[in-house]
């Protein structure tokens, strides 16, 4: 089967999702293409050696004239690639794909919680994208609910969670070496946050909570890995706390998962979290402490596979992190349950197989 994926500019979870899914499809014998902005195709070029890459200038926000031109350009890419399916990722790509005059069947994956714009025109335009799509995939039940609340029929949407390539056991990784590599003190617990530094991720809530966590655990260190538009603001906010380190973007976060005692996901909005899955799959792995928003409670079951707290509540975050740090011998059982859940429900191979089933169903319905 020939598949052409379409995406807006992407970083973080969406970029990783594309790399994982497209590689697996190539390995499974699919003829795979990706039409996307140059910064995304350039970033993925080395990770996707078997994937045909096509430049397509999708912007982050609507620009009607530009969008119409790109929809026509996408139609020309479709003629060249001759796919059986056009698979759009995200609302912007779904919109461009819907505007395209191509008659090739369309599938759309929605990665984030959907809220309709206040403008009636823009809301109708957004829903038009789904009316021109043959099937939709939501990465969590929470994302599916947000689509339903916006007026997209439940019967049209299938939940296929993001999957990850399960890591090899990292027992040979020395926590001491990892701490040396990142300048982390050898003594005391390590609290980790891996996130894009932007408002939706709520990293500022963690930064504000940290002094109180430190008062309960004076030898604790917090490392925040990631970059983004709020980096300068967060660096200023964190500056008085020497035990709070903004490490920037780190390519090898797997070693940090293995060395950390707790991973905090303080998001204000979250469709689903690949970081959560990666941390849970790590062996050894940290206890995951997450805000109870979006798709996070589907993975983090409070007291069973991690701990939850209300989003934006810095006091609750503080107490939940302290609870996790104080969990002692319960940590091993909790992280083992989390790891088993990822193995059973979130393997990348299952994501790829279920996506292929959607393709087959859509193509068969058109015959």
Indicate the domain borders of the chain: 2-163+347-366, 175-345
Cα(348)–Cα(144) distance, rounded to whole angstroms?
A: 20
User: Hey, which CATH number is domain 2-163+347-366, 2.60.120.10, 3.40.50.720, 3.40.50.2000, 2.60.120.580?
Assistant: 3.40.50.2000
Cα(255)–Cα(178) distance, rounded to whole angstroms?
A: 7
pLDDT of residue 215: 94
Residues in a beta bridge with 265: 290
Q: Do domains 2-163+347-366 and 175-345 have the same CATH topology?
A: yes
Select from 134, 113, 94, 78 the least CA-distant residue to 200.
Answer: 113
Characterize the bridge pairing of strands 106-110 and 85-89: parallel
Cα(155)–Cα(327) distance, rounded to whole angstroms?
A: 42
Q: Which numeric CATH code is attached to 175-345?
A: 3.40.50.2000
| 203 neighbors 234 (Cβ within 8 angstroms) | yes
Which residues in the chain come in under a pLDDT of 70?
Answer: 168-173, 329, 367
């Amino acid at each position: 089967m020939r598949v052409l994926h379409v995406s807006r500019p992407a970083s973080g979870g969406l970029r990783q999702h594309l790399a994982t899914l497209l590689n697996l499809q190539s390995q499974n014998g699919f003829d795979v293409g990706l039409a996307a902005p140059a910064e995304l195709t350039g970033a993925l070029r080395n990770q996707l050696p078997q994937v045909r890459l096509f430049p397509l200038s999708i912007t982050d926000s609507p620009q009607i004239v530009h969008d119409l031109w790109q929809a026509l350009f996408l139609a020309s890419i479709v003629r060249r690639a001759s796919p059986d399916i056009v698979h759009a990722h995200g609302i912007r790509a779904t919109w461009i794909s819907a505007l395209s005059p191509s008659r090739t069947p369309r599938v759309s994956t929605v990665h984030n919680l959907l809220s309709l714009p206040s403008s009636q025109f823009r809301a109708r335009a957004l829903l038009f994208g789904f009316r021109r799509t043959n099937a939709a995939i939501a990465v969590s039940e929470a994302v599916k609910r947000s689509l339903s609340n916006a007026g997209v029929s439940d019967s049209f949407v299938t939940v296929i969670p993001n999957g990850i390539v399960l890591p090899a056991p990292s027992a040979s990784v020395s926590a001491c070496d990892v701490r040396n590599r990142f300048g982390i003190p050898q003594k005391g617990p390590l609290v980790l946050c891996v996130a894009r530094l932007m408002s939706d991720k709520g990293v500022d809530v963690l930064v504000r909570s940290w002094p109180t966590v430190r008062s309960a655990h004076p030898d604790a260190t917090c490392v925040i890995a990631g970059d983004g538009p709020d980096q300068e603001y967060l660096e200023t906010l964190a500056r008085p706390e020497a035990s709070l380190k903004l490490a920037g973007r780190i390519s090898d976060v797997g070693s940090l998962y293995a060395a950390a005692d707790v991973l905090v996901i303080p998001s204000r909005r979250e469709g689903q979290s690949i970081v959560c899955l990666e941390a849970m799959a790590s062996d050894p792995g940290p206890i995951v402490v997450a805000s109870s928003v979006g798709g996070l409670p589907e993975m983090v079951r409070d007291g069973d596979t991690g701990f939850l707290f209300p989003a934006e509540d810095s006091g609750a975050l503080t107490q939940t992190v302290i609870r996790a740090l104080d969990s002692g011998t319960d940590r091993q059982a909790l992280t083992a349950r989390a790891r088993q859940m990822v193995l059973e429900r979130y393997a990348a191979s299952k994501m790829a197989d279920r996506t292929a089933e959607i393709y087959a169903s859509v193509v068969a319905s058109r015959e």
